[in-house]
Structure 1
Amino acid sequence: MEQQEYATGATQVAGGVAGARTGGAGRSTTDAVVAVREAGPDAPQETGPDGGAPALSPDPGLLRLAQWFAEADPGTADDLCTASFGLYPARHFGVPAEPVAQPGAQSAAEPGAEPGTGPAAGPPAVADISWWHGPTAHTPAALRTREARPARGPRRARRDAGALPVVLSGAKPGEPGKHRKPERSRSAAVGTQDRSAAAERRIAARLLLAHPLVTASGPHADGFPLIRRHRDWLTERFDTLLGYRLVVGPWHARLGKAGLGPGATRGFEHPGTGAPFTPGGYAQLALALALLVDAPERLPLGRLLVAMRAAAPAAARSADPADLAMALAALAGWQVLDGIPADPADPETGAVLLTVDRELARAVPAGPPALADDAGDLIRRAAEAEPGTAVRRRLAETPAVLAADLPEDQRAWLRDHRHSGPAALADFLGLETEQRAEGVALLDPAEELTDLALPGTGTPAQAALLLVERLVEEVRPLPDETTGADVPTPAVPIPDALIDGVLGDIADEYGLPAGWRRDYLADRTALRRDTLDLLHRMGLITATPRGTRPPGWLLRAPAARYAPAADLLPAPGTGRHSRREPSVTIPGPAGPREEQRA
């Protein structure tokens, strides 16, 4: 893996892979590229105060990053994590919407036109329908019982034996020769190999997008041979479509993802408990990496902790033991460290020897702040790209892309490449395209290429689905309510009292019968917090713009895909104060009578 030297100011190098092959750091990647120091064999070795083992020297760029994490608020720390590490998984909707009849789909092509160029070959009419009133993926509550899904991983490429043509050489039609085995024709064998190679490449690409760091002995080791086998093709496609740099070594593969900008909601979680990382946890992680990139292969835990405290005294004073445990657990999950004790803060564990993988330690950072002025500058730089690459990144990594959320140049690109842009990614990753008037979503019905699932298991997931469908029914705009020139409304405000009222109703109605966790039923504040957090991370709601008073939530158009279809002509009420339907007088043989208008 190519490295950068910090010295007095880091110099930028072109990204690439082994063998002097240029990789994904080409025309559209950020300036904040990998920049970790690599100590050569002739580098001077500092010694400790007692003249014993060499002192651990921290990497200045990662040390700077640790300081930024320590000073950041939780939201900024998550964005900084996305920009500096790029280890977030992709996130997509899974359930496709119900198909709709396409107007004019049966119309014949014009005389003399080539196949595929007639009126029926144009873009689907459903692309002009709003998410608010289009086809839905709604599932009745009674049908939402879902068993726990197995751990996600790459599906193995399988050959379809029934699809292999057989040439019955020297035999009568329909039966094999007496002394000859059936032979596959050369053309059939070549076609089968091509299909198998295409399937393997797609599996490898999906695996890398879901898990940007894959090791030969890690939890996704069965997909690593596919990545190595197709590394040249994958390197070129990731660079061309997404501007991502792919580095494939003998024992690991690293896809260097770019940042997603502010508000990306892609932070780390504790690999064991699922607790979200805190700014202190990120700071401890960056600080540990700053020392591990040049550490010896065998390192006492106590020596690492002493070096961390010496490198950043201020961060050490304010560090929480849980932050340190969280950081070390993440490093163990990536196989950077091995042999971490259950309680790293216990003084008696200081003599425990850790095994350090320096190559993996250098592979974890994707954009240390070699060229950034501060945390905000790094977040901005990491998300910079030309319009086409920026939109394709959003399509590949996020559940839905709304044109209203894009800058003007990216909005123009999406408008000009409305079908070809998403189609190229869908073919590359094996996804389905959902085009709507507000934007585009790439769906993964297999629910493998996503870190969150909706519908899903667990109390917050079930509550989120029930909540979002009722919010849509309450605040969904009418078809003629638009903003601008015939542009569907991308989001509508949600009254805060409506959230509390609806969530309380569904908790009372579904909670105990559905087996929801009793702590959530007892603590409605926690239920609200975790339910809204899930909807926010799935892109179905978003916070109101900064400065809005009081702050609140907006319901986004893709949320309507999980609600029942809009009933624009509701049945008349039957209450005492309901308005009655108009009636008409129909003459009959026995005199006039009144009948309700149909």
Structure 2
Amino acid sequence: MEQQEYATGTTQVAGGTADGHTGEAGRNSTDAAVAVREARPDGPQGGRSAGSAAAPSPDPGLLRLAHWFAAADPGTADDLCTASFGLYPARHFGVCAEPAAGAGADADVSWWHGPTAHAPAVLRSREARPSRGPRRARRDAAALPVVLSGAKPGRPGKHRKPERSRAVAAPQDRSAAAERRIAARLLLAHPLVTASGPHADGFPLIRRHRDWLTERFATLLGYRLVVGPWHARLCKAGLGPGAARRLEHPVTGAPFTPAGYAQLALALALLVDAPERLPLDRLLAAMHEAAPALAAAPADRAMALAALADWQVLTDLPADPADPADPRARTAVLTVDRELARAVPAGPPALADDAADLIRRAAEAEPATAVRRLLAETPAVLAADLSEKQRAWLHRHRHTGPAALADFLGLEAELRAEGVALLDPADELTDLALPGAGTLAQATLLLVERLVEEVRPLPGEPAAGLDLPIPEVPIPDALIDGVLGDLADEYGLPAGWRRDYLADRTALRRDALDLLHRMGLITPAPRGTRPPGWLLRAPAARYAPAADLLPAPGSGRHSRPDAPDAPDAPAIPAPTAPRAEQRA
């Protein structure tokens, strides 16, 4: 399939096998279909000049999606973006536990008390790198001695699992395997790759191996891969409610608001049939005419247009399109790439009744596909989070399931009693890094180390109501404040932490907990819990020192005194049902 079918009146299923390949993942996949309207006589295929400045009419499915975004709360809007666009990157832990030999395959060891990836140094020296934005794929000079795309060859890359030597494998076979792995990792990290974008060096590899990649993504993950002459689009499925995969401004990193998402969907509704050259003021006027009720602040419109420019749907966008005083903003003429505009939606609401229904439909899949998607996209998969059928599949395929994905993507499988994590020791197949450089990353890592030491369960303690180890334990709210206070006093000024965080402990707490939540190391307590709070998850223990069964009382001046004999000391409860059922 050379181009994505959008204006042909057809309907496609996100996450199915639209290329005709069969496989386990292609059956019973999510039915969040791509809403496609029929070509109209005045559309781009019906004779309208590409250079015309006439205002396009909006796509009804995307216009409906825009209204859903505007009515959603921030968390639901993030989940709706994940379900409808599927442009999120994969996210994995990057540090392997020690000892390395044999530690990854011990499925009887708990994360709470098993090998750790703890680094005792407070000031962890790491090469600084941008915390957000695309990172160019690197090449292995030994595996790829010739760069056919005309780009400059890169330095030897460390982002792949080393190829195992096979006596029957010829050098050209090993080179093809390395190329396929680079292309697969690139698509999983950046689902929309263009021939002229920041990852153009990897685009020829995707084109060269598109048949193999299409079959593997469809079979293992139920993802549809569309490769055209100038772009490649991996249509990912949704991750369900509470996935916390938000879209951010490509320059500032500010998270999208529901109004920003609404403006993004509204702009796309017009751009899928827009002329190639479109004045900016005409686009803004058409957005207002199409949905007067969705009037938004200039910052929300600017954020939406910046995301479209980052995806190369729009070019020639002024630096600040929302500034009416900027003469360039008033006279700018945008170049519209309709092919990319049509490639952005992965599952507009053709079948869904509302936003919640779309989020649910986009995440639906048979157990094998659903678990493999979680393994490929999320830092860790805990058995307690899965449905009964998914948990049974993971138990039966504890070794073979993760191993197939690890080989496909160049990752390392870490099996534990609570679940499985696929690790990327190069720390490249992820949009967030922990450990990391900077005040927030250092404070967050120190915070999770001390939380684990304070509240981790005893060895062998089972979860109430589940024949599973304890997946998560509650964190006393006062403990978080006390630990952060101790850390700021002990390490803040000597470590050169940012003074705004040291002056505003509330902001430090908010951002540190947000990072831990996005990395899957903590999760909000189930609905109805009083008081609401956070739960510490078992994978967090991999960043803490080895368990000490006789710990000393806290000595920081913000810490509570040790009181083991207090009659009202709360016991450590455990969830009595899988997290997926609690959220429902």
Q: Same fold (TM over 0.5)?
A: yes
The aligned residue for residue 264 of structure 1 is 243
Which runs of structure 2 are paired with 1:163-202 in the superposition (5 Å)? 191-202=170-181
What is the aligned counterpart of 2:256 among 268, 272, 277? 277
Deviation digits for residues 84-110 of structure 1, max 9, x if unmatched? 00000000000000027769xxxxxxx
Distance of 1:245 and 1:224 partners within structure 2:
17
Q: Distance in 2 between matches of 1:445 and 1:55?
A: 49
CA deviation profile, 1:21-48 (whole Å, cap 9, x unmatched): 669993243222322446466759899x
Report what 2:472 is aligned to. 491
**Shift of residue 342 of structure 1?**
2.1
Q: 1:17 to 1:254 in 2, by over 3 A?
A: farther
Q: Which of 317, 320, 332 is the equivalent residue of 1:352?
A: 332
Query: Paired residue for 2:142?
Result: 159
TM-superposed deviation, 1:514: 1.2
| 1:479 aligned partner | 459
Displacement of 1:568 in angstroms is: 2.2
Q: Is the 8 A contact 2:90 2:378 kept in 1?
A: yes
Q: For residue 268 of structure 1, what is the amino acid of its counterpart?
A: L
Normalised TM-score (structure 2):
0.84
- Tell me the alpha carbon deviations over residues 180-229 of structure 1, each in whole angstroms, 9 at most, x when there is no partner: xxxxxxx9997000000000000000000000000000001100000000
**Equivalent in the alignment of 2:5:** 3
Amino acid at match of 1:3: E
Q: Stretches of 4+ moved more than 4 A in 1?
A: 14-25, 40-47, 100-103, 187-190, 569-573
- Contact 2:53–2:279 (Cα < 8 Å) also in 1: no
Q: Corresponding residue for 1:66?
A: 66
Aligned to 1:447: 427
Instruction: Output the CA distance in 1 between the equivalents of 2:212 and 2:234.
Output: 14
Higher alpha-carbon deviation: 544-553 or 393-402: 544-553
Aligned partner of 2:234 among 255, 267, 277: 255
- 2:276 corresponding residue in structure 1: 297
Q: 2:193 maps to what in 1? A: 214
The Cα of 1:548 is off from its aligned counterpart by 1.1
AA aligned opposite 1:411:
R
For the pair 1:434 / 2:417, whether they are aligned, the reply is no
- Opposite residue 98 of structure 2, the aligned amino acid is E
Report how far residue 459 of structure 1 moved. 1.4
1:304–1:436 CA distance, 2 compared to 1 (3 A) = same
Deviates more, 1:189-198 or 1:335-344: 189-198
The Cα shift of 1:152 comes to 3.1
Higher-Rg structure is 1
| Distance change (3 Å), C-alpha of 1:4 and 1:482 | same
After superposing the two structures, state which structure 1 stretch, 187-196 or 261-270, moved more. 187-196
Residue 287 of structure 1 aligns to which amino acid in structure 2? Answer: L
Q: Give the secondary structure class of the aligned counterpart of 2:34.
A: coil
Listed one character per residue, the Cα deviations across residues 325-351 of structure 1 (whole Å, up to 9, x for unaligned) are: 100000000000011112222344233
**Maintained 8 Å contact 2:53/2:277:** no
**For 1:70 and 1:493, how far apart are their aligned partners in 2?**
34
Q: What does 1:181-580 correspond to in 2, within 5 Å?
A: 191-316=170-295, 319-347=296-324, 348=327, 349-483=329-463, 484=465, 487-569=468-550
**SS state of the match for residue 389, structure 1?**
helix
Q: In structure 2, do the counterparts of structure 1 residues 161 and 279 end up closer, same or farther at CA, with 3 Å as the change threshold?
A: closer
1:12 is aligned to 11
SS in 2 for 1:451: coil
The Cα shift of 1:447 comes to 0.7
Distance (Å, rounded) in 2 between the aligned partners of 1:417 and 1:241: 13
- What amino acid maps onto 1:299 in structure 2? L
What is the TM-score of this pair, normalised by structure 1? 0.82
Alpha carbons of structure 1 residues 59 and 100: separation in structure 2 relative to 1, 3 Å: closer
CA 416–321 in structure 1, closer or farther in 2 if over 3 Å, else same: same
Secondary structure (helix, strand or coil) at the match of 2:349 reads: coil
The whole-number CA distance in structure 1 between the counterparts of 2:536 and 2:473 is 5
Matches within 5 A, 1:58-207: 58-99=58-99, 124=105, 126-142=106-122, 144-149=124-129, 152-159=135-142, 191-207=170-186
Say which SS state the counterpart of residue 548 (structure 2) adopts: coil
What RMSD over aligned residues (CA atoms) do the two structures have, in Å? 3.0
Distance in 1 separating the partners of 2:269 and 2:58 = 5
> What is the identity percentage for the equivalent residue pairs of Structure 1 and Structure 2?
79
In structure 2, C-alpha distance between the alignment counterparts of 1:243 and 1:206, rounded to whole Å:
16
Report the equivalent of 1:33.
33
Structure 2 gap ranges (5+): 146-165, 555-561, 565-584
Whether the aligned pair in 2 keeps the contact of 1:16 and 1:247 (CA below 8 Å) is no
Alpha-carbon distance in 2 for matches of 1:559, 1:11: 46
State whether residues 541 and 554 of structure 1, in contact with CA within 8 Å, keep that contact through their aligned partners in structure 2: yes
Letter in 2 for 1:563: A
CA offsets, 1:502-539, max 9 Å, x none? Answer: 00110111111111111111000000000000000000
Shift in CA distance, 250/100, structure 1 to aligned 2, threshold 3 Å:
closer
Other structure's SS at 1:127 match: coil
SS at match of 2:309: helix
Structure 1 pair 53–161 and aligned structure 2 pair: CA distance change class (3 A): closer
Structure 1 residues without counterparts, runs of 5 or longer: 104-122, 163-186, 580-598
Q: What secondary structure is seen at the aligned counterpart in 1 of 2:404?
A: helix
Task: Work out whether residues 78 and 266 of structure 1, in 8 Å CA contact, stay in contact via their aligned partners in 2.
Answer: yes
